[in-house]
Structure 1
Amino acid sequence: MTSLTPPPGKLGLPILGETLSFLRDPDFAQKRHQQYGPIFKTHLLGNPTVFLKGPEANGFVLTHENQYFVVSWPPSVKKLLGPLSLALQTGAVHVQRRKLMAQAFQPRALADYIPAMAAISDQYLKRWAALETFTWYPELRNYTFDIAGKLLIGLDQASKTDLGHWFETWCEGLFSLPLQLPWTRFGKAYRCREQLLNGLEALIRQRRQQGDQDNDALGVLLRARDEDGQQLELEELKDQVLLLLFAGHETLTSALASFCLLLAQHPMVKARARAEQSRFVGAPLTLETLKQMTYLEQVLKEVLRCVAPVGGGFRQVLEPCEFGGFLIPKGWSVLYEISLTHQDSALFSAPEQFDPERFSPERAEDKGKPFSHVPFGGGLRECLGKEFARLEMKLFAAKLLQGYDWSLLPQDLTLVMVPTPHPKEGLKVRFHREPIQGIQG
């Protein structure tokens, strides 16, 4: 390995490197791949960083956790998530905590979440129909936060609480330069983290006093015991709950907004999805009926391929290793790329086209190579709430398609990529009630 050299690329300015270009230019990686090939080096957020794309690269990074790589986040994210968050835990502690938190996302728990999820969906859909024209993205943020608040910590109308307002400011600072000054995005976000933790502490103490029996995620965590029979400490509980709220809100909002946008742009796909839903009108929404919506499943997979809510993942290099004929030095960062893998024409035919049929059993383009379609990551750190997210997306989509229709108003539909992809002008739509007829017999 000593004869190998790091990948081509440039490290940019001292300290800053190419951070500003990375944050501002949505085609940052694409341009450099065109120049340097599938692997290049740069300098981001204080660290030399290697970008890798393609299924083999994804597999290499995701299957060598704790051997060559350990999870890493930009400094701003680390400070705002908190040191006890599952996202930052590693090794045996991470494995054990993950097992414990996964109890909140088992099939039985998910089935219990459906009635509340459906009720909140109905409230929002009726309200949107009454509004007729509105900007959808901020509404979707409130919708997913209300569901996360209710199902994860038992809070009604969470988006209207102080917790909801602090959370929005906290999210805005996640991918920013970590300058802790009162007027910077990071400074404001850090102040909101303190307020969020105080609010969560009050909630946790109250629930503990009541001898908590609730079936939300917090209830599961309050009852959980580790292998030594110990409860989670208060400080860790606060960090873990904050992570769950983030995971159940930010990326899901992005995915739902992309679904609404892409179906408005592809009326044939929308019509076919609505036709499938006519078989389910009046049927109770259960895990079983949702599983039978096979075309909708293909549509949602294609939405996550076209606009991956998480564009890639950072790791820190524990040991020097070799990939693609280049040395990846110890102490550097790597970024495995989800979005650019999903746009690879060697894996997906005409990747620029929105084509749910690519996920049909006949074509199954995601099955050609492992780690080709990885919207939820993979390996030891695959998204813990993956099934929760898939359930919420499918339930929302089914209710929307069965009872409503929508069209886009004139606007700039460019996607802003940070912290997660969303339409620049917030997705302005005309929205109305339009129930589909059920198939009889």
Structure 2
Amino acid sequence: MMVLWVLAALALCLLSLALLLLVSRQLWQWRWAITRDKSCKLPMPRGSMGFPLVGETFHWILQGSNFQSSRREKYGGVFKTHLLGRPLIRVTGADNVRKILMGEHHLVSAEWPRSTRMLLGPNSLTNSIGDIHRHKRKVFSKIFSHEALETYLPKIQLVIQDTLRVWSSHPGSISVYCEAQKLTFRMAIRVLLGFRLSDEELNHLFQVFQQFVENVFSLPVDLPFSGYRRGIRARETLLKGLEKAIQEKLQNTQGKDYTDALDVLIESGKEHGNELTMQELKDATLELIFAAYATTASASTSLIMQLLKHPAVLEKLREELRGNGILHNGCVCEGALRVDTISSLHYLDCVIKELLRLFTPISGGYRTVLQTFELDGFQIPKGWSVLYSIRDTHDTAPVFKNVDVFDPDRFGQDRTEDKDGRFHYLPFGGGVRNCLGKQLAKLFLKTLAIELASMSRFELATRTFPKIMPVPVVHPAGELKVRFYGLDSNQNEIVTETEAILGATV
């Protein structure tokens, strides 16, 4: 009898809990429904706000790309949800995205999730708006000028060669995504910023930075052991290390020519009569590393995977390199790479364009609505957040045929599938907030592709390729294990050469 009473009580508790969850969820839905603009007759977008406080954040993390596609099929290209502690309207489609990107400063304003804003810092370019944003973009633009890229290229090439040599000397396979992260972090530290750090210091900073990146997009709940708290602690540690490196660099570069991004940033600030403070330098440095790290590592991993999957693409790439005198006897000719030379390689450009179409590293960008406007017959209320979707816009763009197929020739002169409408293809965003570093990112990826083409062989070390996860950036769900085999003989002394060149610039 006692057992029955216990079971009955337990059932009653479970029923009460279920009713409480149901009521609280309905109240949560209603709480956001009343935020519609009463002066606008258009309805709010359809969609679900999930559960109180957490919304659909865990659905988004666990479902990956299925989250967007399933809701797009159910609700259409414009739907509402609640992610990372904020109400959100997700938007897909060239015309819709165009309206958002071209509406900066009057319809919308950039505003990332609170965790991202706080961890990147109040002085970052990402968080700035209006005249401050325009001024900072002007300062930052010199970092990515043609002249600056020409200066970076030899050092980028040597860092890549050095890394590939290490990979090929490894007795077994390597985990490409993990190693690509180390490569892009090293490129940011050694090439962009010109920091002279020991391998031990570099590895420690890399570990801390990984913890920082893992929590940039987290629920903004500042509690012990929360991801947000871990991100804050990682940021504090990073800023201490960066301040030390900046001070050492300033002492060692007195009276020397400006040869890296941090030098250019410091000098550009002086030219505009606004010399950067140490806090601004630290925030700018952290943002540069962040911008150069996760997305480039993601694209680098995708590049290696696609070249493994499509050997015909790799061979066609080699043919172009041989035809332009860049590749000879299986190796890159010394002094053959210049920015203009790389830009003239049409098939290589098609490969990178297709890579960024099919495997765009980030899903989109955040904006805050300044005034209510219309999209697809729905009102987008003032005060709400909007996430325009890059990846889903690529997937649904009518100009692309067989969208799931990796086909670089779609961008060739005979087809040019991207010619009809600029907002069907936007891997680097658009409008006044398009990615400033896009030319550097493409230069890095093209140089990596060229160096990969010069290797004797690299092959998948497992039976199948891992599945792809889209959150927070595109990456393998499991490890992408690859064996790299020996580089050509004239590349054996790259480590010494790299150290000599990088040492001379810092």
Aligned residue pair count: 436
The one-letter code sitting in structure 2 at the alignment partner of 1:30 is: S
1:434 is displaced (CA, Å) by 6.7
* 3-state DSSP of counterpart to 2:483: strand
8 Å contact 1:175–1:419 — kept in the other structure?
A: yes
Question: How far apart are the structure 2 equivalents of 1:181 and 1:41?
Answer: 28
Question: How far apart are the structure 1 equivalents of 2:409 and 2:372?
Answer: 41
* 3-state DSSP of counterpart to 1:346: coil
1:306 aligns with 2:348: no
From 357, 374, 379, the counterpart of 2:426: 374
1:17 is displaced (CA, Å) by 1.5
1:269 is displaced (CA, Å) by 1.5
> Hey, what does 2:16 align to over in structure 1?
none
Question: How far apart are the structure 1 equivalents of 2:48 and 2:226?
Answer: 28
8 Å contact 1:11–1:43 — kept in the other structure?
A: yes
1:20 is displaced (CA, Å) by 1.3
8 Å contact 2:195–2:245 — kept in the other structure?
A: no
1:140 aligns with 2:184: no
Between 1:265-274 and 1:103-112, the stretch displaced more is 265-274
Question: How far apart are the structure 2 equivalents of 1:126 and 1:166?
Answer: 26
> Hey, what does 1:284 align to over in structure 2?
336
The one-letter code sitting in structure 2 at the alignment partner of 1:144 is: T
From 121, 130, 133, the counterpart of 1:82: 121
From 8, 16, 40, the counterpart of 1:2: 40
1:228 is displaced (CA, Å) by 6.1
The one-letter code sitting in structure 2 at the alignment partner of 1:4 is: L
* Map 1:272-351 → 2, pairs under 5 A: 272-279=316-323, 280-281=326-327, 282=333, 284-344=336-396, 346-351=398-403
1:111 is displaced (CA, Å) by 0.2
> Hey, what does 2:243 align to over in structure 1?
201
Which one has the bigger helix percentage?
2
Gap change, CA 1:404 and 1:184, over 3 Å in 2? farther
Q: Deviations over 1:246-288 (max 9, x none)?
A: 1111100000100101111112212211222223122611112
Question: How far apart are the structure 2 equivalents of 1:288 and 1:226?
Answer: 30
Question: How far apart are the structure 2 equivalents of 1:310 and 1:12?
Answer: 23
8 Å contact 1:100–1:221 — kept in the other structure?
A: yes
Question: How far apart are the structure 2 equivalents of 1:5 and 1:184?
Answer: 37
* 3-state DSSP of counterpart to 1:48: strand
Question: How far apart are the structure 2 equivalents of 1:354 and 1:232?
Answer: 44
Identical amino acids, percent of aligned pairs: 37
Question: How far apart are the structure 2 equivalents of 1:159 and 1:72?
Answer: 36
From 444, 451, 462, the counterpart of 1:392: 444
Q: Unaligned stretches of 5+ in structure 1?
A: 437-441
Q: Unaligned stretches of 5+ in structure 2?
A: 1-38, 328-332, 490-506
8 Å contact 2:93–2:397 — kept in the other structure?
A: no
Question: How far apart are the structure 2 equivalents of 1:347 and 1:38?
Answer: 17
Question: How far apart are the structure 1 equivalents of 2:190 and 2:272?
Answer: 30
> Hey, what does 1:186 align to over in structure 2?
228
8 Å contact 1:175–1:418 — kept in the other structure?
A: no
8 Å contact 1:50–1:334 — kept in the other structure?
A: yes
Aligned residues: CA RMSD:
1.9
Q: TM-score, normalised by structure 1?
A: 0.94
From 61, 84, 101, the counterpart of 1:23: 61
Gap change, CA 1:428 and 1:301, over 3 Å in 2? same
The one-letter code sitting in structure 2 at the alignment partner of 1:108 is: E
Q: Deviations over 1:281-325 (max 9, x none)?
A: 226111122122211110111011111011111111111111111
Between 1:233-242 and 1:86-95, the stretch displaced more is 233-242
> Hey, what does 1:427 align to over in structure 2?
480
> Hey, what does 2:112 align to over in structure 1?
73
The one-letter code sitting in structure 2 at the alignment partner of 1:172 is: E
From 237, 240, 264, the counterpart of 2:284: 240
